[in-house]
Amino acid sequence: MKNFYAEITGWGKCLPPATLSNEDLSTFLDTSDEWIRTRTGIENRRISHVNTSDMATVAAQHALACAGKSADEIDLIILATCSPDSLIPNAASKVAQNLGIAAAAAFDLNAACTGFVYGLETATRLIQAGNYRNAIVIGAERLSFFIDWTMRDTAVLFGDGAGAVVLTRTEEQVGLQNAQLGCDSAGRDILAVPKFGTCMDRFAADNGHWDFNFVGKEIFKRAVKGMGAAAQNVLARSELSTDDVDVVIPHQANIRIIQTLCDLSGISQDKAFVNIQKYGNTSAATVPIALCESLEQGFVKPGDNLLLAAFGAGLTWGASHLKWGERVTPLGKSDAQLPECELSALELVKDAVEHCKNRP
């Protein structure tokens, strides 16, 4: 029996055009650019004027062009998101429809910020089973939908965006080599939107105003512990030392978490690709967007060993070892883009800010 692997042959991203800066936030929150930057590393974040599936579609179109694949060659779509357009049907089916894919398997996967790492493992194992040849794995989020714009600790952190990769079956030993996924369920309440779902009282007067639980210090501690343990486990399985790691693609949640993860793992911070300053925390989209930009900027070289690490609500966590192939440039390009946005980011969030301030 042949051993199959799943090579990343295409990559793409989609960032909505409206940028909400730290200075913008300071116009309606008790905060400042200096306060946000020194605590998080974030300077800007994007606010979407379209649905999650729209961003996911554009990212997928860029990834397909990069891979030199047509949509009808795709037989599996996994959309990692905790902010889908709808619960029924799933948002992945909308992406399939947008791409003109008639019969591929398509499903959403919710592991919050760890979603893309979960999706990459899932798609790889399905391809290795021999039933699928080409898959699209997408991380896409419209987190601005959930934000309570009166809560400084969380309102400054999150942004919108999407990233995608195409996985192609191969007999060469490239792509995902090892992964370790897990969930620290004892901490699930410290990072949560606890009453959004069937536990919501549909008829309550404040319906539409939900809590966003965020215990920062405890999240920091558990995030570093979970990602660090997963990373060590993955490297041990792959028989790699920290010196063998060429590039780290970490979840972009907080610059301090990224730095601490590298320090505790014994990996130089210079090996970590960081773009949190531009986009903030885009949850499941952070890792694929960072992966895409690391390739665009020449950060990843042929044959590199990549370490991916993420954590999220649940508290989910995971790490992956990727062996990169020979190609680090696109086979083609797409002109896909979102519809034009005529509003500024402040204008896009204006009504939401007012609703949050006047919560019943």
Task: Please write the tens of the pLDDT for every residue from 186-197.
Answer: 999 999 888 788
Position 330 in a domain: no
Is 321 tagged catalytic? no
Determine the Cα–Cα distance for residues 223 and 190; give it in Å rounded to an integer. 12
- Same domain for 25 and 160? yes
Q: Which of 186-190, 282-286, 298-302 has the lowest mean pLDDT?
A: 186-190
Position 294 in a domain: yes
Residue 238's CATH number: 3.40.47.10
Nearby residues of 195 by Cβ (< 8 Å), 6 or more positions away: 201, 210, 211
- Same domain for 138 and 161? yes
Count the domains in the chain.
2
Is residue 209 within 8 A of residue 359, CB to CB? The reply is yes
- Same domain for 216 and 73? no
| Per-residue pLDDT tens digits for 83-93 | 999 999 999 99
Position 162 in a domain: yes
Please tell me the predicted confidence (pLDDT) of residue 210.
73
Three-class SS of 65-113? HHHCCCHHHCCEEEEECCCCCCCCCCHHHHHHHHHCCCCCEEEEECCHH
- Same domain for 165 and 193? no
Q: Which of 111-125, 184-198, 309-323 has the lowest mean pLDDT?
A: 184-198
- Same domain for 82 and 52? yes
Please tell me the predicted confidence (pLDDT) of residue 1.
62
Q: Which of 71-80, 136-145, 149-158, 351-360 has the lowest mean pLDDT?
A: 351-360
Position 248 in a domain: yes
Position 329 in a domain: no
What does the pLDDT average to over 204-227? 85
Which one of the listed residues 183, 281, 292, 321 is annotated catalytic?
Answer: 281
- Same domain for 262 and 293? yes
- Same domain for 155 and 60? yes
Which one of the listed residues 251, 262, 292, 321 is annotated catalytic?
Answer: 251
- Same domain for 113 and 138? yes
E-state strands within the chain: 5-14, 19-21, 44-46, 76-80, 105-109, 134-142, 160-170, 175-183, 191-192, 213-214, 247-250, 305-312, 316-323
Is 82 tagged catalytic? no
Cα 146–chain centre separation: 16
**Does the pLDDT value for residue 29 go beyond 70?**
yes
Is 66 tagged catalytic? no
- Same domain for 36 and 95? yes
- Same domain for 240 and 151? no
- 16: domain range? 5-175+338-357
* Backbone phi, psi, residue 167, to 5°: -105, 135
Flag whether the pTM goes above 0.85.
yes
The one-letter amino acid code at 62 reads H
- Same domain for 146 and 10? yes
Please tell me the predicted confidence (pLDDT) of residue 96.
99
Position 198 in a domain: yes
Which one of the listed residues 113, 183, 262, 292 is annotated catalytic?
Answer: 113
